[in-house]
Structure 1
Amino acid sequence: MRTENLLIELGTEELPPKALKDLGSSFAIHMQAALEGAELAFENITWYAAPRRLAVYVSGLVESQQDKLVEKRGPAVNAAFDEQGNPTRAALGWAQGNGISIEQAERLVTEKGEWLLHKAHVPGQSVNDLLESLLHQAVSKLPIPKPMRWGSHATQFIRPVHTLCVLYGNEVIPVNALGQASGRRILGHRFHGESWFDLDHADNYLPALKQHYVVADFHERAEVIRERLESTADSLTLKADYNTALLEEIASLVEWPVVMTASFDEAFLQVPKEALIYTMKDDQKYVPLLKSNGSLANTFLFVSNIESLDPSQVISGNERVIRPRLADAEFFFNTDKKVTLESRLESLGTVLFQKQLGTLKDKSERISALAAFIADQIGTDSDQSARAGLLAKTDLMSNMVMEFPDVQGVMGKYYALHDGESEQVAQALYEQYLPRFAGDELPSHPVSAAVALADKLDTLVGIFGIGQLPKGDKDPFALRRAAIGVLRIIVELSLPLDLDTLVSKAIEVYGDKLTNGECQTQVVDFVLGRFVAMLQDQGINIDVIQAVAARRPTRPADYAARISAVAMFKTHETAEALAAANKRVANILAKNNVESDAVVSELLLGEAAEVALYKALTEAKDIVNAAAASQDYAAVLTKLATLRDPIDNFFDHVMVMADDEQVRSNRLALLALLRQLFLTTADISLLAKA
């Protein structure tokens, strides 16, 4: 069967840059699903996206579906004919629906009976016949939150569509979609060369567009920009400051990327670099340049969409654009310094944190009290922590943060230092929001950690405390992120903190504002639930997590230590046998309702195997308890691994359910002692076979 390569391109007005990559990849995903659903075979599908176009390229697409032999079962034979052998209405209706006579029907015989059968030959439909419907399917599923209409069209799309190119090899497939009839027309660059041209063949899409100053491949365009940013920065002995998100957004704004260098007045460098970087990146999509010591240079890079005959004009234009933005930042900074952070406390009382939970001033006072409590728990300066907590939100009332919200915390640090606050307080104002995302840095000082934890716990407890638990993907107060932040700080900084204690204190600080009586348990369970998800993301086996979770340790650092020890223990040669023995013990104890604190009487130990097990358990108990007290769970499990032989010997030679009630109870108590020792770290019985 003939195969060709298919190109579908939607030529549009400028598409939203932050959505471009998702639109392109979604177009390919849904087009692939539509082709597969229609049983049209192909080799591969690739997507292209630029500011004024979305396209998919399908290689090796067959020209039509395979012919099919479809079996259409009719009524059962005993229902298809009456007693005289005449066809019933059901049989006649079925035959007529299939375009045959009753005499032409075949018979299908199975173990369950006999039915009428028609084997219909269904010829495959061609790409030409199917493509319009398939394109509609794919387009209708694109992630477009706010579709728009244009002109007199009733059609809706994310932006007006001006061209629709659909080529199967060198042939145009007739399709109508989004108010356009298909053809060969392709939009060129808006400013360079011809405004449009006719494409002769699907395979020539990318090279033809490059001749018209368009790099249609999103990834190629981003890589070109990255290479040119890096090489230009290297030539200036500076470092380009950008991330993947900024790079992809710039790539979504230009079709023919040209990297240029510009500069601004050095006087602006008196403003904290974070504010300048924010306005350059977020407002203008410029790429700041950093010196080797991390300070900001007054030179920056930008990506133009045109290859100008007079680049100096483009450069000076961009320099004129950035100057007023930097001047605003300079003005805000100088104005804000005239007022201390402490003096802004009262103004926080005019801003609501949450209707039932009070103002930002209320929240600041709670953070202060909770931070001091946490500081005492971890052995750092409680006065400094309380002070930092009190001032934590004051920079939100500054002109700079109101204009550039992303520099909250950062500006608090600069203003605190200007006001004469201690270095610890100033640093805590910046680090209170850490970690902000997965993989982000953590607070660098215990005072900062105390404030960061207090802020996150106050939000968690407050929102849970008024019954507004996150549901599904709805989490307006970012409680999941807060919980993960709490866990990362405690675990990665090895802080000796207990979630139960912290949540209880946070509830106490709230006073009578909270209405949810289940708040304590719900918050702790929620945070522990996030811990399970984190551990799974780290590749920890689910049975290891379940074994530890069964003990519900509420000290995150302790929880992590148990996970590490159990994961290592699972690889031990005795692990499988001990897990099986623990499962057996747990089942026996559950069936007989044995109390965990049942006492073993040495006088009732008669069999040599049970005496040996009791002796081994007694010797192990002190070692296990001492190791567990210091969170050396590897030592705990190493010691428990030595119990395999006495445990196996016990089950081989001792009848637990003895006829003598006292002996039976004593043996069950012995198993309870064994069970409690193993539960010191985790529920080993939950470990799966390796």
Structure 2
Amino acid sequence: MMDLLIELFSEEIPARMQARAREDLKRLITDGLVEGGLTYASAGAFSTPRRLALAVEGLTAESKPVREERKGPRTDAPEKAIEGFLRSTGLTLDQLERRADKKAEVFFAVIEKPGRRAAEIVAEVLAAAIRDFPWPKSMRWGSGNLRWVRPLHSIVAILSDEAGAQVVPLTVEGITAGDTTRGHRFMAPDAFRVTGFDDYAAKLRRARVMLDHDEREAAIRQDAANLAFARGWDIVPDDALMAEIAGLVEWPVPLMGVIEDRFLSLPPEVLQTSMKEHQKFLSARNPATGRIEGFVTVANIEAPDDGATILKGNQRVLAARLSDAAFFWDNDLRVAKAGMEDWAEGLKSVTFHAKLGSQADRVERIAALAREVAPAVGADADAAEQAARVAKVDLRSAMVGEFPELQGTMGRYYAQAAGLPDAVADAARDHWRPKGESDSVPAQPVSVAVALADKLDTLTGFWAIDEKPTGSKDPFALRRAALGVIRLVLGNGVRVPLAELLSDYIDARRVLAEQDVHFFSARIAAGVKRRGIVPKAADLLAFLHDRLKVHLREQGIRHDVIDAVLAMPGSDDLTLVVARATALNDMLKTEDGTNLLQGIKRAANILSQAEEKDGVEYAFGADPKFAETDEERALFAALDAAEPKIAAAMKAEDFPAAMTAIAALRGPIDAFFEAVQVNTDNQIVRRNRLNLLSRIREAGRLIADLTKIEG
């Protein structure tokens, strides 16, 4: 067995590309080795700003010989068929064998491939990986044709075993593989030789390079926490920033700095965002004051003055950045205190979409929709409309112009500065949420109303103009908007008849194409309704159902259970759908539930076959006086007891009680099928028994369309 070490040494690799590059290097090399006939025990990929590395352990020294036989066309087949077979095998006609096969003679190709040394296979695989590496962005340099994320300087490719180490014979675009690399750019720039991965990792550490990204990140996290603890502060959690910083340095040296008092009045989100986006600083919060008062910068060098000069330079740059932020903040506050009318007017010049008007048009629509949704979420309609009208105005603020990720956050501050109620200010902040799976869902009624209106406006608008997601393409993030609607509805127990609501708004959008936004708002406010669900609304509802299935599957609810519930009336009430699906899913996890399902489906199958054969529907008339067995009479009695309980529980939306009631039928149904022959020769008894099966089927239909349940 052999071990393989690969290092691709270049200029700085962007931090955001390193994790994917590690995965791609491992995949390309290991897949290529296996395809070449080699096996290996384990593989690990590593990265620093200037290198990608791969260590493969337990690699076989050579591939095994391969003998393959392929059956070809008949010997009297057309010439083109034979030529195609020859091309696919790489053989000539005289190398083919003729063999008798049934009634004809056919060509056979016997392809023998001798075993190959690992070095030869590694050289081919590595050369192909370098030339075809899937960087998101790459460049050429000098006069060569090789593309890499940044200029590639050297390649280390070493195979080692008990006998020693050998360099893989490889040259790519003038770069010849060797056993030499370099350490830290400033602290240990000289070249040194390595003999294998353990030697490589140890010498890199002595040369001030920490090879493992996760180790660098852990070191940054720990050292930053220690620096903050010494001052009585806490580091504001930011895993994404931690990971990015670890991709910017080879030898992390965290340094603690203090924010000048003149900037401490800025909102903490502004301080954190400015330091993160411009400087890649970690924020430090003082628990005693609740303010962000310090920062941690991570240097890539151990300085003679313990980083004092580095820290001084960073603080000077930070002061300039925060001065800009303070200027934006002061100007924005003046506009906010004046009522934000200038910003609202400015939204008229911001296009949302060419076919959907400006942001001001959109605000009008969201305000009308928020007012309509408000009663369903327990919000005051006036407050919901007021919140919707100010929720987007911070898009015109200087601060959000500089830091778009602060939209909503700054809206709350500006709404408070304008003297608006807290519920309205909170809705300005929260109406964007949830932005993703990890984001929390607003709970305050006004915030929920505006957040729902915002996302429903987006969905109905793009559906109305036929801009729907296709395949993996979703340029307007409509899947995220749909999931946001689902989480808002479910997280707050909202009962909204979506089919009617979607139809109203998509139909109103059709009118909007010919009229102006004020006509649209007035039409909705006046309660102008369209009878029935319009086709585009039905399609949008199906899209929401698809997103709901994904959401519920992640919570352990089976897809067929969801389908069974969605087939019932009221499927546009997502809260109702989830309550039904959860209860049904829980019942089917029990033995009684599984067996009951089989009994109901058996009854439905027998019944459908009989109805198809006889050309009639067996749906009524079952009479216990025609029962011939105790099992039949027991089933009649069980159905008489269960049916009203199921119906009452479903009407009361007490779905667990409904499941308990129908589960009581499991024993009588099992006993019936065990003892009774449905299709007896006595036609009166047969019809009675089929009508009895109809009662079983209908009992199941009270719960869900159980025919959609698999198994």
TM-score, scaled to structure 2? 0.87
Residue aligned with 1:27, SS:
helix
Report matched runs for 1:584-663 at 5 Å. Answer: 584-591=602-609, 592=611, 598-600=619-621, 602=623, 607=628, 612-651=634-673
Residue type of the partner of 1:29? R
Q: Select which of 532, 535, 552 maps to 1:518.
A: 535
Contact conserved, 2:394 with 2:410, CA < 8 A, in 1?
yes
Query: Structure 1 residue 148 and structure 2 residue 139: aligned?
Result: yes
Which residue does the alignment assign to 1:677?
A: 699
Distance apart, 1:626 and its partner CA:
2.2
Which residue does the alignment assign to 2:121?
A: 130
Which residue does the alignment assign to 1:174?
A: 169
Q: Which moved more, 1:161-170 or 1:608-617?
A: 608-617
Which residue does the alignment assign to 2:304?
A: 309
Residue type of the partner of 1:582? I
Distance apart, 1:107 and its partner CA:
9.4
Which residue does the alignment assign to 2:568?
A: 551
Report matched runs for 1:467-482 at 5 Å. Answer: 467-482=466-481
Report matched runs for 1:251-290 at 5 Å. Answer: 251-290=246-285
Which residue does the alignment assign to 2:150?
A: 159
Which residue does the alignment assign to 2:343?
A: 344
Mark the runs of 5 or more structure 1 residues left unpaired by the alignment. Answer: 81-88
Q: Which moved more, 1:141-150 or 1:375-384?
A: 141-150
The superposition leaves residues 530-580 of structure 1 with CA deviations (integer Å, 9 ceiling, x where unpaired) of 111112222333343333334372222222212221122113332233212
Residue aligned with 2:264, SS:
helix
Distance apart, 1:500 and its partner CA:
1.7
Which residue does the alignment assign to 1:139?
A: 130
| Structure-2 change in CA distance of 1:116 and 1:508 (3 Å) | closer
| Structure-2 change in CA distance of 1:514 and 1:234 (3 Å) | farther
Query: Structure 1 residue 532 and structure 2 residue 523: aligned?
Result: no
| Structure-2 change in CA distance of 1:45 and 1:136 (3 Å) | same
Which residue does the alignment assign to 2:375?
A: 376
Residue type of the partner of 2:215? E
CA distance in 2, matches of 1:641, 1:376: 37
Which residue does the alignment assign to 1:85?
A: none
Distance apart, 1:298 and its partner CA:
1.6
CA distance in 2, matches of 1:661, 1:120: 70
Contact conserved, 1:27 with 1:56, CA < 8 A, in 2?
yes
Which residue does the alignment assign to 2:201?
A: 206
Query: Structure 1 residue 231 and structure 2 residue 226: aligned?
Result: yes
CA distance in 1, matches of 2:265, 2:379: 34
Contact conserved, 1:578 with 1:684, CA < 8 A, in 2?
no
Which residue does the alignment assign to 2:598?
A: 580
CA distance in 2, matches of 1:283, 1:214: 25
Which residue does the alignment assign to 2:417?
A: 418
Residue type of the partner of 2:241? L
CA distance in 1, matches of 2:584, 2:173: 58
Distance apart, 1:164 and its partner CA:
1.1
CA distance in 2, matches of 1:207, 1:389: 60
Which residue does the alignment assign to 1:406?
A: 405
Distance apart, 1:648 and its partner CA:
3.7
Q: Which moved more, 1:146-155 or 1:124-133?
A: 124-133
CA distance in 2, matches of 1:485, 1:167: 51
Distance apart, 1:644 and its partner CA:
2.4
| Structure-2 change in CA distance of 1:439 and 1:589 (3 Å) | farther
Distance apart, 1:413 and its partner CA:
0.3
The superposition leaves residues 618-670 of structure 1 with CA deviations (integer Å, 9 ceiling, x where unpaired) of 43233222211232211101100112233345445666567888876665554
Aligned positions, number: 673
Residue type of the partner of 1:626? A
Which residue does the alignment assign to 1:32?
A: 30
Q: Which moved more, 1:582-591 or 1:452-461?
A: 582-591
Which residue does the alignment assign to 2:460?
A: 461
| Structure-2 change in CA distance of 1:97 and 1:350 (3 Å) | closer
| Structure-2 change in CA distance of 1:209 and 1:595 (3 Å) | farther
CA distance in 2, matches of 1:205, 1:554: 61
Contact conserved, 2:624 with 2:633, CA < 8 A, in 1?
no
CA distance in 1, matches of 2:601, 2:260: 73
Q: Which moved more, 1:653-662 or 1:438-447?
A: 653-662
Which residue does the alignment assign to 1:445?
A: 444
CA distance in 2, matches of 1:74, 1:421: 82
Which residue does the alignment assign to 2:527?
A: none
Q: Which moved more, 1:587-596 or 1:315-324?
A: 587-596
Contact conserved, 1:610 with 1:650, CA < 8 A, in 2?
yes
The superposition leaves residues 148-168 of structure 1 with CA deviations (integer Å, 9 ceiling, x where unpaired) of 110111111111101111112
CA distance in 2, matches of 1:550, 1:159: 55
Residue aligned with 1:437, SS:
coil
Q: Select which of 320, 324, 327 maps to 2:320.
A: 324
CA distance in 2, matches of 1:333, 1:342: 17
CA distance in 2, matches of 1:436, 1:14: 32
| Structure-2 change in CA distance of 1:382 and 1:667 (3 Å) | farther
Which residue does the alignment assign to 2:354?
A: 355
Residue aligned with 2:605, SS:
helix
The superposition leaves residues 452-498 of structure 1 with CA deviations (integer Å, 9 ceiling, x where unpaired) of 11111110111111111101111111111111111111112222223
Identity %: 35
The superposition leaves residues 325-365 of structure 1 with CA deviations (integer Å, 9 ceiling, x where unpaired) of 11111111110111233442221111111111111111111
TM-score, scaled to structure 1? 0.89
Report matched runs for 1:63-74 at 5 Å. Answer: 63-71=61-69
CA distance in 2, matches of 1:448, 1:569: 36
CA distance in 2, matches of 1:118, 1:128: 29
Contact conserved, 1:161 with 1:179, CA < 8 A, in 2?
no
Contact conserved, 1:596 with 1:676, CA < 8 A, in 2?
no
Report matched runs for 1:2-21 at 5 Å. Answer: 3-21=1-19
Which residue does the alignment assign to 2:530?
A: none
CA distance in 2, matches of 1:477, 1:179: 45
Residue aligned with 1:680, SS:
helix
| Structure-2 change in CA distance of 1:144 and 1:224 (3 Å) | same
| Structure-2 change in CA distance of 1:647 and 1:129 (3 Å) | closer
Residue type of the partner of 1:35? L
Distance apart, 1:195 and its partner CA:
4.0
CA distance in 1, matches of 2:624, 2:113: 86
Residue type of the partner of 2:220? I
CA distance in 1, matches of 2:558, 2:132: 36
Contact conserved, 2:127 with 2:170, CA < 8 A, in 1?
no
| Structure-2 change in CA distance of 1:67 and 1:606 (3 Å) | closer
Contact conserved, 2:541 with 2:572, CA < 8 A, in 1?
yes
Which residue does the alignment assign to 1:193?
A: 188
When the two chains are superposed, the root-mean-square deviation of aligned CA atoms in Å is 3.2
Which residue does the alignment assign to 1:563?
A: 581
Residue aligned with 2:263, SS:
helix
Contact conserved, 2:618 with 2:690, CA < 8 A, in 1?
no
Query: Structure 1 residue 291 and structure 2 residue 286: aligned?
Result: yes
Which residue does the alignment assign to 2:427?
A: 428
| Structure-2 change in CA distance of 1:100 and 1:376 (3 Å) | closer
Residue aligned with 1:214, SS:
coil
Q: Select which of 46, 49, 56 maps to 1:48.
A: 46
Q: Select which of 239, 242, 249 maps to 2:244.
A: 249
Residue aligned with 1:124, SS:
coil
